[in-house]
Structure 1
Amino acid sequence: MIRVLSVASELELRDFSAHLDTLGIRHRISEEAGSQVLWVYSLSEKDRVVTETSIWGLKERKLRSKSFQWRRWLSFDWVRRFFSLILDLTWRAPFSCLLVFISVVVFLLSGMGQDLRNVTWLFFPEIELQSVFDPSWLLRNPVIFLNLISPIFLHFTLIHITFNMLWLLFLGAQLENSGLPNGSFLHGKALSLFCFLITVLITGLVGNITQYIVGGGPNFGGMSGVIYGLMGYTWLMGKGFPYSGIGFPNSTFGVMLLLLVVMEIFAGSWIASGAHLGGLVTGLSCAGIFITIYRIRN
């Protein structure tokens, strides 16, 4: 056999070898003293390989190893893109990012949903139902009031938290930067953020209370009720303020409603359908109230 060239072992020759195969050039590659040696079977094939080598860039060492390209991509491009995305999301949707951060921390503390002993204090409190509707009792027990909302941060599987967090970022980035008409005391982004915060808190609260009533116990958690609430809120606000930058496609909204029914039928015992429905109705109600107040004032 005829030796054609020798290159460093870290260079990836697999693609070049495949290229030679497509040209019908018989060859093989061996390793010698930390280098890769390319061999061919005839002088004519050697001439063709030398030509292809020049074109491919091996002669001038322009072909970078895949490992080097990977390290460079990981060290610079991927890191830059990742932090750019994080900074952009944090700027556009700071409260949504905060909710995601808290949810992820709680998920990790719970052993990715497998060991709930560290997060039992976040579960819905076992209380008499009428106490929830007694403002004086809630004021005397502020910690319990917080526990009425805190189950939104509990997630039990990776797909559970991933689904909810992606929807939260998608909806939150839109709602926190919407161009809602100026209110009487808030303007611009401050008004959008205020409406978003109120909606998240109320949908979380009502969704959890609904699930506690329907499910008959405190063993539930997740941001799904809030997500359905934000979907309903976004959909109706888009109808009420069509030029605000808020909107949720009718087709997607219909699919999510259908999914709500399907989950109740086929997985009712595993899904917090009460939280979903309570959050959805509350989100629609919040949007209806905001739209009504604006139209009355204007």
Structure 2
Amino acid sequence: MQTLVILGNIRAAKALADYLHQHKIESHIQKEEDGFHLMFDESSDIETAKKLITEFAENPNDDKFWTASWNRNEVDDLSSEQTQAEPIISKVWQQTGVFTRVLGGIILAIFIAQLAGYSRFLFLHLGFPENLTQLSFSEIYRLVTPALMHGDATHLVLNLFWWVWLAGQLEKIKGAPWLLNASLFTALAAHLSQYLMVSSSFIGLSGVVYGLLGYAWLAGRLGRLPELKLPSGIIIMMLLWLAVGFAEVLNLRMANWAHLGGLLSGLLIALFEAKWAKKA
């Protein structure tokens, strides 16, 4: 038996092993101190295996690798130690940058302050102004700070998950300054949309999340974001949720225009970047 590749976690090792199996190349996963070894016997087509492994290394998030696991529908007989994949939250957290973590921490701290009885104070100083004509220059920040507050734990957890997972990856790819500017722009577009179409009574990071999602989807379609592969169906799910919100079929209070405004602003960023790249 010989080792051709060592992977850091069992899920990736299993996906690659299943992809090789799909190409009629059998392998065995063995846990060692330095990671998960993919072992091959002497009768294996080593040259083809090496090519497929290189293919996996160049784009491990490609759907075809995970589809291979789904199609095989089989679990290897691994020890409990081998099957202990990294916790999802820990793995996602490791893929984030400093800005993503800091803003996530601020949002969490503000929610704790809300629970501690400071909601009125926070709404007074961070909420969207009731009348833009009376907004002083020193309070211009209130155009974006409603994104830092949340109405309940479910609202908070959902938005923080999307923020850490999506914004964290975008920060790694595009950098913290880009993420800061994109967050400010999408928040402003989302909040102004909700204010102009409904009222100033809204809170939450959802508009920014929709903006980043719209950007990631369109930038990917335009070939501007090859490093980030959105799982199939996410954009459809988010659009369906947006439609459900506008249809008001659920007894939920949602800032639908903020979601739409954020989404459109994210698409606009992706279009602007693509156009700017052509001129450069």
1:246 paired residue among 220, 228, 234: 228
2:218 maps to what in 1? 236
2:145 paired residue among 141, 150, 169: 150
2:181 maps to what in 1? 198
1:119 maps to what in 2? 122
Q: How many Å separate the matches in 2 of 1:221 and 1:105? A: 15
Residues 1:220 and 2:215 are matched in the alignment: no
Give the residue type in structure 2 aligned to 1:253. Answer: I
Q: How many Å separate the matches in 2 of 1:199 and 1:205? A: 10
Residues 1:98 and 2:80 are matched in the alignment: no
Which segments of 5 or more consecutive residues in structure 1 lack a partner in the other structure? 1-80, 132-136, 179-190
CA drift of 1:243 comes to 5.9
Question: Which residues of 2 match residues 58-69 of structure 1 at below 5 A?
Answer: none
Q: How many Å separate the matches in 2 of 1:267 and 1:273? A: 13
Q: Is the 8 A contact 2:96 2:165 kept in 1?
A: no
**Secondary structure in 2 aligned to 1:110?**
helix
Q: How many Å separate the matches in 2 of 1:195 and 1:127? A: 30
CA drift of 1:236 comes to 1.1
Give the residue type in structure 2 aligned to 1:226. Answer: V
2:164 paired residue among 152, 158, 169: 169
Residues 1:260 and 2:242 are matched in the alignment: yes
Q: How many Å separate the matches in 2 of 1:283 and 1:262? A: 20
Q: How many Å separate the matches in 2 of 1:288 and 1:269? A: 32
- Residues 186-238 of structure 1 show CA distances to partners (whole Å, capped at 9, x for unaligned) of xxxxx53332221110000110111111122x221000000000100111111
Q: CA separation of 1:284/1:243 partners in 2, compared to 1, >3 Å: closer, same or farther?
A: closer
**Secondary structure in 2 aligned to 1:288?**
helix
Q: CA separation of 1:199/1:268 partners in 2, compared to 1, >3 Å: closer, same or farther?
A: farther
Q: Percent identity?
A: 29
Q: How many Å separate the matches in 2 of 1:102 and 1:243? A: 28
- Residues 233-270 of structure 1 show CA distances to partners (whole Å, capped at 9, x for unaligned) of 11111122356302324521011101100122124871
Q: Is the 8 A contact 2:214 2:263 kept in 1?
A: yes
Q: How many Å separate the matches in 2 of 1:243 and 1:268? A: 37
1:291 maps to what in 2? 274
2:73 maps to what in 1? none
Question: Which residues of 2 match residues 69-80 of structure 1 at below 5 A?
Answer: none
Q: How many Å separate the matches in 2 of 1:115 and 1:268? A: 27
1:274 maps to what in 2? 257
Q: How many Å separate the matches in 1 of 2:95 and 2:169? A: 12
Q: How many Å separate the matches in 1 of 2:162 and 2:201? A: 23
Question: Which residues of 2 match residues 19-38 of structure 1 at below 5 A?
Answer: none
CA drift of 1:143 comes to 2.8
Count of residue correspondences: 192
**Secondary structure in 1 aligned to 2:276?**
helix
TM-score scaled to structure 1, two decimals?
0.58
Which segments of 5 or more consecutive residues in structure 2 lack a partner in the other structure? 1-85
TM-score scaled to structure 2, two decimals?
0.62
CA drift of 1:144 comes to 2.3
Give the residue type in structure 1 aligned to 2:120. Answer: R
Q: Is the 8 A contact 1:124 1:219 kept in 2?
A: yes
- Residues 8-34 of structure 1 show CA distances to partners (whole Å, capped at 9, x for unaligned) of xxxxxxxxxxxxxxxxxxxxxxxxxxx
Q: How many Å separate the matches in 1 of 2:240 and 2:191? A: 21
Q: CA separation of 1:293/1:125 partners in 2, compared to 1, >3 Å: closer, same or farther?
A: same
Aligned-pair RMSD on alpha carbons? 2.7
1:107 paired residue among 108, 111, 121: 111
